[in-house]
């Protein structure tokens, strides 16, 4: 892939984020299914944020739910990078004008107690590396106009990352099984979203294992202290100014977030 095409794709996404105006898809520049090129663009976009003072705090796994894959027309997981300024606490209000086209989903978040850099990275090792889990919601937010995305578009766009909210109740994995959780999310003006842990690649820990292997393969393994959003437990829902979203995940409790009204 020519360097100028990768740079053009990164600059298009960066301009959309800076201006608050969604852009045309980048697949015309990098191809609709060229994951190597898409992750190269993602790295360039994230490196730009870090150079401007942002701090990497973890990763997010996307497209783990069949329902979400069907919504977006893709058939495999992806991942993106979490930055510190994306994180909100339970009950916070997110300024709506920092978002472009937000959609929200409920997930299990893992906070790592150990690195996932060496060894077989089997399910036992991955589970043992988790310090604790919390209920979480991710606010996905595409820079691509109208969410007109292929897998390459969303990967390049940092897996359509926007913001995320972590619940306050920390639960160790010896107290619940992530694959067995049940979720219900209520969003102002939308149908409820429901799902289970099994909707996330069969088990959120399997999603974490997939990410650990992929991250190590790419030379940037997961590290202790990082947050990992393991993927949606049910369908995403759009949010509008002034909305409130609340999710309850069995074994983990609830988490909620508000969105500010846009000033007149």
Q: Domains along the chain?
A: 56-259 (3.90.850.10)
Other CB atoms within 10 Å distance of the CB of residue 198: 16
Quote the pLDDT of residue 77: 87
pLDDT confidence of residue 65? 73
User: Tell me, what's the pLDDT at 71?
Assistant: 60
pLDDT, position 75: 72
Q: What is the pLDDT of residue 161?
A: 96
Q: What is the pTM of this model?
A: 0.94
Name the nearest CA neighbour of 215 among 74, 133, 84, 112: 112
CB 111 within 8 A of CB 173: no
Low-confidence ranges of the chain (pLDDT < 50): 264
Q: What is the 3-state secondary structure (H, E, C) of the chain?
A: CCHHHHHHHHHHHHHHHHHCCCECCCHHHHCCCCHHHHHHHHHHHHHHHHHCCCCEEEEEEECCEHHHHHHHCCCCCEEEEEEHHHEEECCCEECHHHCCCEEEEEEEEEEECCCECCCCCCHHHHHHHEEEEEEEEEEEECCEHHHCCCHHHHHHCHHHEEEEEECCCCECHHHCCHHHCEEEEEECCCCCEEEEHHHECCCHHHHHHHHHHHHHHCCCCECCCCEEEEEECCCCEECCCCCEEEEEECCCEEEEEEECCCCC
Task: Tell me the pLDDT tens digit for each residue of 233-255.
Answer: 999 999 999 999 999 999 999 99
Instruction: Report the mean per-residue pLDDT for the chain.
Output: 94
Contact residues for 133 (Cβ-Cβ < 8 A; gap 6+): 108, 109, 110, 111, 170, 171, 172, 173, 176, 178, 252
Give the residue from 226, 264, 232, 250 showing the smallest Cα distance to 81.
226
- The closest of 49, 27, 47, 23 to 38, measured between CA atoms, is 27
User: ∠199-59-45 over CA atoms, to 5°?
Assistant: 125
Tell me, what's the pLDDT at 15? 97
């Amino acid at each position: 892939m020519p360097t100028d095409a990768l740079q053009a794709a990164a600059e298009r996404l960066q301009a959309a984020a800076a201006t608050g105006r969604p852009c045309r898809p980048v697949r015309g520049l990098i191809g609709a299914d060229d994951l190597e090129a898409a992750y190269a663009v993602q790295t360039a976009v994230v490196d730009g944020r870090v150079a401007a003072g942002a701090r990497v705090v973890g990763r997010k796994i996307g497209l783990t739910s069949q329902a979400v894959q069907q919504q977006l027309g893709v058939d495999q997981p992806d991942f993106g990078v979490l930055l510190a300024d994306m994180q909100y606490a339970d009950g916070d209000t997110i300024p709506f004008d920092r978002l472009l086209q937000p959609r929200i989903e409920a997930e299990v978040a893992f906070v790592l107690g150990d690195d996932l850099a060496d060894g077989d990275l089997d399910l036992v090792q991955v589970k043992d590396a988790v310090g604790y889990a919390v209920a979480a919601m991710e606010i996905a937010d595409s820079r691509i106009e109208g969410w007109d995305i292929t897998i390459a578009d969303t990967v390049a766009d940092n897996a359509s990352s926007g913001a995320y909210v972590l619940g306050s109740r920390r639960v160790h994995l010896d107290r619940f099984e992530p694959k067995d959780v049940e979720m219900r999310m209520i969003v102002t003006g939308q149908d409820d979203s429901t799902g289970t842990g099994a909707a996330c690649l069969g088990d959120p820990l399997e999603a974490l294992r997939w990410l650990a292997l992929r991250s190590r393969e790419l030379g940037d393994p997961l590290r202790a202290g990082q947050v990992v959003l393991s993927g949606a437990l049910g369908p995403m829902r759009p949010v509008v100014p002034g909305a409130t979203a609340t999710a309850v995940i069995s074994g983990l409790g609830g988490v909620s977030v508000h969105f500010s009204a846009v000033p007149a």
